[in-house]
Homo-oligomer: A and B are copies of this chain.
Amino acid sequence: MAVQNDKAQSPATLMDVAKEAQVSIATASRVLNGSTRKVRNQSYVKVMEAATKLNYRPNAYAQAVAKGTAPNIVLLVSDISDPYFASVSQGVVKAAAERGISVTIGVAATPHEELEAVRKSVSTRPRGIIISESEYTDAPERQALQTELTQYEASGGRAVFVLNRNLPFPAVDMANDVGARAIAKLIVDSGYTRPAILKGDDAHRSSKERLAGVMEVLDEAGITVDPKAVANGKFSRTDGYAAVMQMARSGLLKPGEGALYDGKGIDSIIALNDVMAIGAMTALRANGIEPGREIGVTGFGDIPYSADVFPPLTTVHLPLAEMGQAAVDSILSNRDDGEATGGTANRLIYVQSAPDVVLRGSLPRR
Q: Show the binding face of A for B, using Cβ within 8 Å.
A: 8-11, 55, 57-62, 64-65, 68, 70, 72, 79-81, 83, 86-87, 89-90, 93-94, 97, 102-107, 119-120, 122-125, 151, 154-156, 237, 278-279, 281-282, 285, 304-305, 307-310, 312, 321
Do B59 and A65 touch across chains, with their CB atoms under 8 A apart? Answer: yes
* A80 & B70 in contact (Cβ 8 Å cutoff): no
CA distance A68 to B90 in the complex (A): 31
6 contacts between A and B (CB under 8 A): A60-B125, A61-B61, A81-B304, A93-B105, A104-B104, A308-B309
Copy tally for this chain in the complex stands at: 2
Nearest to A116 among chain B residues (CB) is B97
A115 to chain B, nearest CB (A): 13
A97 — which chain B residues lie within 8 A by C-beta?
106-107
Across-interface contacts of A103 in B (CB, < 8 A): 104-105
Say whether A156 contacts B8, CB under 8 Å: yes
- Bound together, the chains give a CA A125 to CA B60 distance in angstroms of 8
Question: A97 vs B8: C-alpha distance in the bound complex, in angstroms?
Answer: 26
How long is the Cα–Cα vector from A79 to B11 in the complex, in angstroms? 30
Cα A116 to Cα B59 in complex, Å, equals 16
Q: What are the residues of chain B within 8 A of A70 when measuring CB–CB?
A: 61
Is A80's CB under 8 angstroms from B83's CB? no
| Chain B residue at minimal CB-CB distance from A58 | B123
Q: Please give, as numbers and ranges, the residues of chain B lying within 8 Å of A55 by CB-CB distance.
A: 151
Check A11/B155 contact, CB under 8 A, given A57-B119, A79-B90, A310-B285: yes
